[in-house]
Amino acid sequence: MVDRVPAGRVASYGDIAVLAGTGPRQVGRIMAGYGHLTCWWRVVRADGTSAVADRAAAYWDEEGIPYRDGRVSMRTCRWSNYPGRMTELTVRAWGTPGFAAPLEPVTVTRRELREDDVRIRIEFAGICHSDIHTMRGDWGERAYPLVPGHEIVGIVEAVGPAVTTFREGERVGVGCFVNSCGECDACLAGEISYCDEGPTPTYGGFDGEELTQGGYSQAIVVRESFVVSVPEGLDPAATAPLLCAGITTYSPLRRWGAGPGKRVGVIGMGGLGHVGVKIAAAMGAEVTVFSHSTAKRDDALSFGATRHVSTADGLPEDLRRHFDIILNTVSVDLDTAAYLGLLRFDGALVQLGLPGEPLQAPARMFTQQRRSLSGSLVGGIRETQEMLDFCATHDITAEIELIGAEHINEAYDRTIASDVRYRFVIDATTF
């Protein structure tokens, strides 16, 4: 049993006892007799101390097991692959019991860890507009009870035996998707958002037989390849919205080449738009915000925009043929042709929001200046990691209002009323 503990990890006598179906004392006795035949230095007391710490230290050094004063750091290197840590787990959550019903406390069951699963103790979950559309029934009926949330930050608390990227104690994030076919052209290119079979959403989708349940909960179990690392230095609560809003704006900005010398327009400065402004500015682009009122002008400028246009007065004449990229982050019906007219040669209007009506523009708006109209959906996992690293380098997080779970329904109302600067994040200790 002891030899199943991998190099660089330690187990307690109790951990081994559970595995062997015996008690910690028996394990201690057996170790005393036959321990020299095993990797004995990988077994310590539950508090990380060892009776033979002086002799073990050389092995700990060799395997990179952190310790101080003869005490191993159990938090960072305790082997989690033992029974009891891997089993199915029922956790508290907030979700809706039925179609368009308000959210209330519910429980969800997280699956027993598979080979490549990571179980995350959630710290923070952002409230995305998609959560509200889904929970209030705007996008049709789903399976219930349903727990939303796809802007998740937390700490790894257990990993399956085949997991290599993450260890217990590390801070990680999960975004909009938790699985995909893995075989289509999009998946092979790392662009899981565009999976042929449709990626599995973090909540409200089916992963095999299992209805996925999102991040408004105490814990979640996700395949390793859909988990990203949260760089140190990023505030974990304010990082949560980056897992959706961050990647959804970062991906098209990269795709259409935002950078020095480029002019970027951002339509709408809500949860999505305000992060887009920060990222585009950090990429070195000149950023203009289009917003229906002047209320957010000062914020826009402080986030890095150089100009704020209040669309209530119409679109300024001097911005015709001005932009290389315009991100439309809003879901209301706008004059697509008018915004296309603001694009210069080879410019692209990129649709991120989903308005109700079809988009319309005369064909000449495209032939002139070789403009294009496109759309973008979230982004890949590798790209999400790249985005988080970029945000850490440039000190970018979302502007948030942290709430307890009991305020979720109220936060939904306020988000719809645009009464939030700029994203609600739920403290997961309140679930």
Nearest to 80 by CA among 117, 50, 49, 53: 117
Count CA atoms within 13 Å of residue 231 on its CB side: 17
The smaller minimum CB distance to Zn ion, of residues 13 and 94, is found at 94
Q: Please identify, among the stretches 20-28, 36-44, 173-181, 399-407, the one whose residues bind Zn ion according to the rule CB under 5 A.
A: 173-181
> Is residue 227 within 8 Å of residue 152, measured between CB atoms?
no
Give the residues across from 343 on adjacent strands.
323
Q: Please identify, among the stretches 36-44, 122-130, 221-229, 322-330, the one whose residues bind Zn ion according to the rule CB under 5 A.
A: 122-130
Q: Does 291 bind Zn ion (CB under 5 A)?
A: no
Q: How many residues bind Zn ion (CB under 5 A)?
A: 9
Q: What interhelical angle do 271-282 and 245-255 show, nearest 10? A: 40
Return the residue of 96, 180, 212, 415 that touches Zn ion, per CB under 5 A. Answer: 180
DSSP assigned state of 199: P
The smaller minimum CB distance to Zn ion, of residues 197 and 413, is found at 197
**Rule CB under 5 A: which of 125-154 touch Zn ion?**
128, 130
How far apart, in whole angstroms, are the C-alpha atoms of residue 253 and residue 82? 44
Q: Does 376 bind Zn ion (CB under 5 A)?
A: no
Q: Which two tokens stand for residue 327?
A: 């991100």
How far apart, in whole angstroms, are the C-alpha atoms of residue 143 and residue 381? 26
The answer for residues whose C-beta is within 8 angstroms of residue 209's C-beta and 6 or more apart is none
Return the residue of 20, 184, 359, 402 that touches Zn ion, per CB under 5 A. Answer: 184
Q: Does 244 bind Zn ion (CB under 5 A)?
A: yes
> Given the DSSP bridges, would you call strands 263-267 and 323-328 parallel, antiparallel or unpaired?
parallel
Return the residue of 187, 283, 391, 408 that touches Zn ion, per CB under 5 A. Answer: 187
φ and ψ at residue 351, rounded to 5 degrees:
-90, 120
**Least distance in angstroms from the C-beta of 179 to Zn ion:** 10
Return the residue of 125, 153, 158, 195 that touches Zn ion, per CB under 5 A. Answer: 195
Q: Does 10 bind Zn ion (CB under 5 A)?
A: no
**Least distance in angstroms from the C-beta of 104 to Zn ion:** 22
**Least distance in angstroms from the C-beta of 139 to Zn ion:** 12
How far apart, in whole angstroms, are the C-alpha atoms of residue 282 and residue 431? 35
The smaller minimum CB distance to Zn ion, of residues 184 and 359, is found at 184
Please report, as ranges, the residues that interact with Zn ion according to CB under 5 A.
128, 130, 180-181, 184, 187, 195-196, 244
